[in-house]
Amino acid sequence: MPQTTRFFFLALAFFFITDSHAGEEEGFPGRSLEKYSMVPYLELEELHRRRDAFTVVDVRSSFEFDTLRIKGAVNVPVTVEGFAVVVRELREQHGKPIAFYCNGRSCLKSYKAAKQALTAGLDEVYAYDAGIFEWARAYPDEAELLGKSPVDPNRLIPKKAFQAHLLDPDSFSDKATSTAPRSRLIIDIRDSFQRAGIGFFPAIERWASLQNMKKLRKYLRQAKAQGRTLFIYDNVGKQVRWLQYELEARGLKDYWFMEKGAKGYYEMLGSGEGLR
């Protein structure tokens, strides 16, 4: 990594905001957190048994929802402005209890969504906290992967297959910048707010957020047609795991992700590990 680039971003490292719940854990951490003690939860089997009694709401990003989802679920990202208003409209429209879900046990967006709904005065709202992966494995006929159902469990990319394409930030930077320009394509997929107009590889990277899939897919087609190695990074290293489904579906195999994304890059700079 060029020294000037490292020092340029070092000053920004201390202002970077991260998601403290990005990791994957065993158990159900949301159930034991005091701030979510008022949120009732649903077990996997219970939601399946009573599926028709609930309006099921996926509170993840639209990209995650489009990749893998519970069949018949409604997508209302918990980060959307006026979330509680939209949820209230769903209740009035369907008249059913609402079950919120996100990625898995350690993803707390389902709890955040339920808490917001409860605070707004809605009752009968629940967090289904086992998440989409456990649902898809247990009930493939009631899930959709890239718009298709039933889901073939063998197409659910295991964590090890994802990790095989991860490089720590320093290695990612070194490999990306040392690869011949005509043999690489570096893409920042953060949204405009996360990026704030600044990329880690000025003049040599492309920017195509997940909100602009038309542009991103153009770059993917270009990489495949020209046999280029893809180097892709996001904000905290989680969205790339969903993008991997798109890459594999397109037959792309030569690609690398930055471990922990921009978060990891700033942590590296703050620790000085990438300055040697």
CATH number at residue 224: 3.40.250.10
One domain, residues 114 and 184: no
Q: What is the pLDDT of residue 222?
A: 97
Q: What is the pLDDT of residue 26?
A: 64
Q: What is the pLDDT of residue 270?
A: 86
- Cβ pair 188, 200 in contact under 8 A: yes
**Residues 182-198, mean pLDDT to the nearest whole number:** 93
One domain, residues 193 and 251: yes
One domain, residues 151 and 172: no
Task: Assess if residue 4 is contained within a domain.
Answer: no
Q: Residue 272: is its pLDDT beyond 90?
A: no
Q: Residue 16: is its pLDDT beyond 90?
A: no
Residue where a domain terminates, one of 155, 172, 205: 155
One domain, residues 138 and 172: no
Question: For residue 31, with 0-12 CB atoms within 10 Å meaning exposed, 13-18 middle and 19 or more buried, which class applies?
Answer: middle
One domain, residues 134 and 186: no
> Which residues make Cβ contacts (< 8 Å) with residue 204, sequence separation at least 6?
177, 181, 186
In percent, how much of the chain has pLDDT > 70? 89
One domain, residues 151 and 33: yes
Q: Residue 99: is its pLDDT beyond 60?
A: yes
Task: Assess if residue 52 is contained within a domain.
Answer: yes
Q: What is the pLDDT of residue 66?
A: 96
In percent, how much of the chain has pLDDT > 90? 86
Residue where a domain terminates, one of 155, 174, 205: 155
Q: Residue 201: is its pLDDT beyond 60?
A: yes
Question: pTM value?
Answer: 0.83
Q: Which residue has the tokens 């590889």?
A: 201
Task: Assess if residue 13 is contained within a domain.
Answer: no
DSSP 236: S
One domain, residues 36 and 131: yes
One domain, residues 258 and 209: yes
What is the β-pairing status of strands 41-42 and 125-128? parallel
Question: Model confidence over 56-89: pLDDT tens digits?
Answer: 999 999 999 999 999 999 999 999 999 999 999 9
Residue where a domain terminates, one of 155, 175, 200: 155
Residue-range definition of the domain harbouring residue 91:
29-155
One domain, residues 237 and 251: yes
Q: What is the pLDDT of residue 3?
A: 47
Of 271, 269, 270, the residue nearest 2 (C-alpha): 269
The overall average pLDDT reported for the chain is 90
The Cα-based distances of 3 to 85, 235, 274 in angstroms read 49, 22, 9
Task: Assess if residue 10 is contained within a domain.
Answer: no
Of 122, 98, 126, 123, the residue nearest 111 (C-alpha): 126
One domain, residues 33 and 147: yes
> What is the distance between the alpha carbons of residues 44 and 61, in angstroms, rounded to a whole number?
21
One domain, residues 100 and 197: no
Task: Assess if residue 11 is contained within a domain.
Answer: no
Q: Residue 197: is its pLDDT beyond 50?
A: yes
Q: What is the pLDDT of residue 101?
A: 98
Question: Model confidence over 233-262: pLDDT tens digits?
Answer: 999 999 999 999 999 999 999 999 999 999
Count CB neighbours of 18 within 10 A: 15
Q: What is the pLDDT of residue 144?
A: 98
Number of domains in the chain: 2
Task: Assess if residue 24 is contained within a domain.
Answer: no
Rounded to the nearest 10 degrees, how much is the dihedral formed by the CA atoms of 86, 57, 21, 170?
Answer: -100
Q: What is the pLDDT of residue 274?
A: 58
One domain, residues 180 and 235: yes
Task: Assess if residue 254 is contained within a domain.
Answer: yes
Task: Assess if residue 8 is contained within a domain.
Answer: no
Q: Residue 8: is its pLDDT beyond 90?
A: no
